[in-house]
Amino acid sequence: MKDKIFVVRDAVSLFLKKQARSKYILAFLFQSSRILASFEVSPLALECVKLLDGNHSLGQIARMKKITQKNLLRLIHYLESENLIEERWERTKEELRYSRQLNFFASFEEREIKRENFQKKIEDARVVVLGAGGIGTWLIESLVRSGVGQITVIDPDVIALSNLSRQTFFTEKDIGKAKVEIVKKHAAAINSMVKIKPVQRLIVSPRDLRPFVKNATLVINCSDYPDVSVTNDIVSRACFTYGIPHILCGGYAGHLSFVGQTVIPHQSSCWRCYVEGGIYERGLNGFTHMAITRSSVEGGTLAAIASMTANIHALEALKVITGYAEPAMLNAKAEWDFLSLSLTKITVSKNKYCSLCGENAQKRRIRK
């Protein structure tokens, strides 16, 4: 025990307040949750805590501060049980790569679920991303850096000069090349542990998509061709066939961006609950959406807006994959106004008459 080295957790900050009779109140602030834990300590205990810097073993601290092993261990066990300190360990190369990410997950550790378990789930995940454009490329880059084990990237396009102002991965040298191949090349340079499966293909029906999503952990729609409502429909129907969680990324237009639903089949509301509920455009009740492909009209945007919109969804993806927190976009859609930086969230309730997830739809599937 005396050779062990303990360190105050990275995400914990310490504050001190002097009390009467040479006592101190020592406060530990968890940076990620803003939770504060405080207790009274003696000057000797305070001196010992200061040496929990990752450089001193317990034996050294006991000798330096002339504190008995028993009293030092009592202090260490208390701080450890409160999740304020942890034993320092030698990190492997992969743990060094993900060290900040592991520290992030440390805030969500429970007795049975350690930070390594969250990381393992990411490495075991098989994610399918439909569309490698303004949303897809930024989202894929985040997932690659996080270490998602396998990412199937589906997109029919080649890189154009106009893509470079808002899509990551692509350079001037890549113009005219298949997007999915260039994503694979640059992703490998960032994180060789991630397997990218490029699929250069236009998906026009759930039938086209089913073979790719069958064994997926998560499917993410980042495609708006011919229209995002069409691709959301395709992704939702393909995913419901196998009960696969899916994220329906929104898009952006000028200073507005749209944050789409995170769907866990048969637990949360789905895309059709939203469409058939007529929730968003109340003034259009009784209308049905008519998809038009407008190849000559392109909504104005910036790389900054595309990347932020994409990364909200990337964060949702990590929540679905690891379960470290409940996805924020379950049963919800949101609109983000970048002029004022305000977010308006609306509830999308599960509709029991929904044609995709409602009771009758489920019975139809069972009969089949």
For Zn ion, the closer CB: 106 or 330: 330
Considering the rule CB under 5 A, would residue 354 count as an interface residue with Zn ion? yes
For Zn ion, the closer CB: 200 or 355: 355
**Of 153-161, 267-275, 289-297, 299-307, which segment contacts Zn ion by CB under 5 A?**
267-275
Among 72, 183, 270, 318, binds Zn ion (CB under 5 A): 270
Number of residues that bind Zn ion (CB under 5 A): 6
Q: In the window 103-122, what residues touch Zn ion (CB under 5 A)?
A: none
SS3 content of the chain, % helix, strand, coil (to 5): 40, 20, 40
Contact 191/144 with Cβ under 8 angstroms? Answer: yes
Contact 219/173 with Cβ under 8 angstroms? Answer: no
Contact 303/165 with Cβ under 8 angstroms? Answer: yes
Considering the rule CB under 5 A, would residue 235 count as an interface residue with Zn ion? no
> What is the b/e burial string over 346-359, where b = at least 16 CB atoms within 10 angstroms of the residue's CB?
eebeebeebebbbe
Any idea which residue has 């303004």 for tokens?
A: 134
**Of 68-76, 139-147, 271-279, 329-337, which segment contacts Zn ion by CB under 5 A?**
271-279
**Of 115-123, 172-180, 296-304, 352-360, which segment contacts Zn ion by CB under 5 A?**
352-360
Q: In the window 139-158, what residues touch Zn ion (CB under 5 A)?
A: none
Any idea which residue has 């969230």 for tokens?
A: 345
State in angstroms the smallest separation of the CB of 360 from Zn ion: 11
For Zn ion, the closer CB: 58 or 270: 270
Residue 217 is classified by DSSP as S
Coil/strand/helix, residue 279:
coil
State in angstroms the smallest separation of the CB of 273 from Zn ion: 3
For Zn ion, the closer CB: 252 or 274: 274
Question: Closest CB to Zn ion belongs to which residue?
Answer: 354
Contact 275/289 with Cβ under 8 angstroms? Answer: yes
- Measure the CA–CA gap between 361 and 318, rounded to whole angstroms: 29
For Zn ion, the closer CB: 79 or 244: 244
Tokens of 30: 């968890």
For Zn ion, the closer CB: 277 or 323: 277
